[in-house]
Structure 1
Amino acid sequence: MSPIKSIRSLRKKKIRFDEFLNDVPTQKGEKNNEITHFSFQELKSELEISFGKSADFRSVIEEIDHKGALLIYLESIVDTKTLKETTPYLFSSRLNEEVHLNFTEELISLCKKAFGGADYQLLGTKDEICRAVLNGSIVIAVETIDQAISINMASEDKRSVSEPSTQTVIRGPKDGFIESLSTNVSLIRRRIRNQNLYFESFIIGKDTQTSVYMGYIKGIANEAILQEVRNRLKKIKVSAIFESGNIEELITDKTFTIFPLALNTERPDTVAANLIEGKIVILIDGTPFCLLVPAVFVNFFEISEDYYQPFLLGTFLRWIRYLAFMIALLTPSIYVGILTFHHELLPTTLLLSVIAQRQGVPFPAVVEVLIMEITFEILREAGIRMPRTVGQMVSIVGALVIGQAAAEAGIISNIMIIVVAITAIANFVSPVYSFASASRLLRFLLIFFAYILGLYGVLLVLVAMVAHLSSLRSFGVPYLSPIAPLVLEDQKDVFFRMPFWAMKKRPKYLRAESEAKVFSESSPSPPQTEGGNND
């Protein structure tokens, strides 16, 4: 008799399916993972082996309706207070007299009575039980029922929502993402109350089983870009994911570049604004930093506060950021190039002053710059890694003391201290840390070429940098959009921040499904008096 006919006959005879399954031979070397393959005690033993008899693993045998019931959970990640309040009722003698457990539906009904509106899920294999336990659920298996049930009881121990530490603003929301994925999603939904805001779930990491959400607004985000992001997330095959930087390296285009191809942020308002524009957000459980894709070069000079201030002030601040980027990138290399090859570019008075200051310095300009740049990078790292109570003191006092002592000892000149200080301050203006780090690395390459070829070397590196930026793509979108290729309609929010009523359409480079963003015809006009004249 074939297995299918046997199953049908068993249903007619109302014989338990697990009794038949144990008699059906599996292929040689194949391990049957279904719950019905194990007896009650075997299932308990298998789960204890799977968790290695870990100190926080609990497997307790109780009795419901005079049948054995196995309660499984990890004490370290479940809400033990809620567990202690609900499980006594579940296994109470009074309840056992009222229930009869023979079918899965009766087990579900029992759990609803005991746990109220808690999320539950039916489990059919040992692997599903292990996954549910690792996610913070308790699992209940009854010996006469061929499916187990999991009740979500994960502990809610998490950091409270606070102001972002890396992307602060003067005017704007003060809440930031935390390490809880559900909390981060709620912070976005509070800003976008739209039923078309979708979040797709992925489990990435063979060992860590990290939850990853991809969020977008259906009807706005481009379907081709959306499918590309979805495919890249599905193709990730790694053992562990701990931070958004791991995901960023695995999904961005395979190009050797120091420039970030995804925008990272911990601000919910920034994410909400970019979702409205047509971008896609990637949220990772366990980190407050999320990714926004696709990202272009100009996105790293924009912050949410630009749109909370008057548009003229927002434009001015954006120019300041572009200027600070060029100062941080070029100042040390220009200093080296001028002192090494191009003395004639300095006014005579300034040149004599610089030469007088460097009379006692034993090193050439390039060595002087490298000493100070590397010293400052060491102080920067020390200030970040040390405890906060002493970190700022080390970075500030260390820079002042070391710089002053080095100048008095004749190792460096006073003008060199000014150059490095201006460079460091300008570098801190960048709103995104990963982009500022790219300019720090590129600065050393410029210093090297300035020492060899002078300002011609600096120009050569800049031309190569622009060519490299032109070749980059972020999920198919040119990295220099909307500058190269030039899109005139998008210039309202690049170097200038035009008023809201003037930015009527979403960026062309995102190819959004719906282009319209602002529906007002123009700005409001002043009210007229009864005589027809304006006030």
Structure 2
Amino acid sequence: MSVQQDKHNVSLEWIKGELDGFADLIDRTLVAPFGQINLIYIKSVTDSQTLSRHVITPFYEMGDTNAYRDYITTYPGTEEETTKDVAIELMLSGYVLLSINDVICFFDAMGTESSGVSETSAESISQGPSDALTEDLAVNLNMIRRRYQSTNLKMETMVIGDVSKTKVAILYDISRVDHSVLAELREKMNTLEVDILQATGELEKFISSDKLRILPKSIITERPDRVVFNLSEGKVAILLDTTGYAIVLPSIFNDFFTSMDDKIQFPIVGRFLKLLRIIGVCMTLWLPAIYVTLTSYNPEIVRVQVALLISGSRATVPYPSFVEVFLMLMMMEFLTEASLRLPKAIGPTATTVGGLILGQAATAAGLVGNIMIILVSAVAISNFLIPLNMMSLSIRVLKYVFLIAAAVLGMVGVVVCVVGFAMYLCKQRSFGQPYFRLFFLDNLGKKKGGEH
């Protein structure tokens, strides 16, 4: 087909057919005594003030469709002759399609939401975009659509909450998504009965099939670039109005240890950083339990010098190693929670000084050993290596399970917990996807999406 023929085939019906499934697609007809015009635009990427001031108001003021057509076609930035591919790109960018006396043109009304967009606070990275999702659903859709300009990106909207009436948007790439996941999600969302919905964490709990789980099965993120990346992988994103976080599903265990920095770094560097996070998780879970095992049950596992060193550091400690570890871990939990609740101006200073004073005082008083201070610090630091907060909180809780098992059964308890934890991970599913697939296959759902 020639370029000229391609231009003539750009019509209202064709545009609406290509953008079918866009819940934010607006199709309006402006009617006046002297004539009418049709306009189509995507609301989330279009500036409503520009549309009203330069498109709608002049139509009623001029009183003549021919004069209005001349005004629109000669306005700077208006595109009149274009191909199908360019027409779709213009619509996805925020242009308004106008049909005036059978003349089709594209008016530049792109909306860029910059005010109110803040930097990320929970998922900071050293490179890459730093903007975070906001509490405004329209702003979030704008940031995502600007990064993902494809007609395959579809959106469905619904209202959840008998009282709150919270607007919810479901985004997915129809050419990549696993349709079985999408169907399961729709069924759960349509049958959801709740009075008030104010946070993505609440919705994540409602749509989860496992009510007694300890590990998250859906990513809750504040980063629009993470949402866009996962959409390209065939996953589904859920956005809520009035909250600055998005839900990404299905998610596997490996996803929670991936930072957006890993996509920017060299492949070897990215894999090394992810390995560090996995090691950090193992340290968080195992270090306190292994310390209790070595001091109370199986000191013969380590060399004599190390056993004597640990024994010497605990010479003045008046209670068993389990109590020592538990008290110090709880003290670290108190400091972590205090740092979150205190005002930002004094929070870091107060918790840092408090931790130093408590550690020094406890060691000087002989309540804990010096090695215990090193161990608790290593556990706290390694836990903070996890990029996503939900997984970090789950690991913080799980380490107490390993600690109790070590206090009761020694090394046997640690081994039983490790095997049981691995079996638990292998059993879990996230919307039908194996949860403990360490190396995630690229473009999840591409084949399944194509088959449907």
Q: Does the alignment reach a TM-score above 0.5?
A: yes
> For this pair of structures, how many residues does the alignment match?
346
CA contact (8 A) 1:221 1:513 kept: yes
- 8 Å Cα contact 2:177-2:444 kept in structure 1: no
CA distance in 2, matches of 1:314, 1:449: 34
Q: Deviations over 1:468-516 (max 9, x none)?
A: 11221111112112x5xxxxxxx4x68xxxxxxxxxx5246x754259x
Q: In the alignment, does 2:427 pair up with 1:471?
A: yes
Measure the CA separation in 1 of the matches of 2:115 and 2:357: 38
Unmatched tracts of structure 2, length 5 or more: 1-48, 54-59, 61-112
Encode CA deviations 1:261-316: one digit per residue, 9 max, x unaligned: 10111111111111001000000111111100001111111111111111111111
Correspondence for 1:429: 385
Q: Deviations over 1:196-242 (max 9, x none)?
A: 21111010000000000000011111211111111111111000001
Residue 308 of structure 1 corresponds to 264
Q: Corresponding residue for 2:228?
A: 272
Match of 1:372 among 311, 318, 328: 328
Partner of 2:346, secondary structure, is helix
Aligned to 2:239: 283
Secondary structure of 1:258's match? Answer: coil
Contact 1:264 1:291 in 2 (8 A): yes
Equivalent position amino acid for 1:253 in 2: S
**CA shift for structure 1 position 251:** 0.4
2:124 counterpart (140, 150, 168): 168
Match status 1:339 vs 2:275 = no
Structure-2 change in CA distance of 1:512 and 1:166 (3 Å):
farther
Deviation at 1:396, TM superposition (A): 0.8
1:209 to 1:320, Cα distance in 2 relative to 1, 3 A: same
Letter in 2 for 1:417: I
Out of 383, 390, 409, the residue aligned to residue 339 of structure 2 is 383
Aligned to 1:416: 372
Once the two structures are superposed, the pairs formed by residues 29-428 of structure 1 within 5 Å of their partners are 160-428=116-384
Of structures 1 and 2, the larger Rg is shown by: 1
Offset at 1:463? 1.1
State the distance in 2 between where 1:470 and 1:345 align: 30
Q: How much has 1:384 moved relative to structure 2?
A: 0.5
Q: Is the 8 A contact 2:295 2:311 kept in 1?
A: no
C-alpha distance in structure 2 between counterparts of 1:347 and 1:465, whole Å: 29
1:346 deviates by 2.0
Shift of the 208–173 alpha-carbon distance from structure 1 to 2, 3 Å rule, reads: same
Alpha-carbon distance between aligned partners in 1 of 2:262 and 2:315, rounded to the nearest angstrom? 46
Aligned-residue identity in percent? 33
Secondary structure in structure 2 of the residue aligned to 1:282: strand
Q: Which residue of 2 aligns with 1:105?
A: none
- Please identify, of 456-465 and 425-434, the stretch whose mean Cα deviation from structure 2 is larger: 456-465
SS of structure 2 residue aligned to 1:362 = coil
Determine the C-alpha separation between the residues in 2 that align with 1:243 and 1:428: 23
Moved over 3 A (4+): none
Bigger RCO of structures 1 and 2 (CA < 8 A, at least 6 apart)? 2
Q: Structure 1 pair 512/173, CA: closer, same or farther in 2 (3 Å)?
A: farther
Indicate the residue corresponding to 1:456 in structure 2.
412
Deviation at 1:369, TM superposition (A): 0.4
Ranges in structure 1 where 5+ consecutive residues have no aligned partner: 1-81, 87-94, 96-156, 484-490, 495-504, 516-535
* 8 A Cα contact 1:159 1:178, kept in partner: no
CA RMSD of aligned residues (A): 2.4
Q: Name the TM-score, length of structure 1 as normaliser.
A: 0.62
> Given the superposition, is the C-alpha separation of residues 256 and 159 from structure 1 closer, same or farther in structure 2, using an over 3 Å criterion?
farther
Taking structure 2 as the reference length, the TM-score comes to: 0.73
AA aligned to 1:506 is N
Residue 459 and residue 511 in structure 1: after superposition, are their counterparts in 2 closer, same or farther (change >3 A)?
Answer: farther
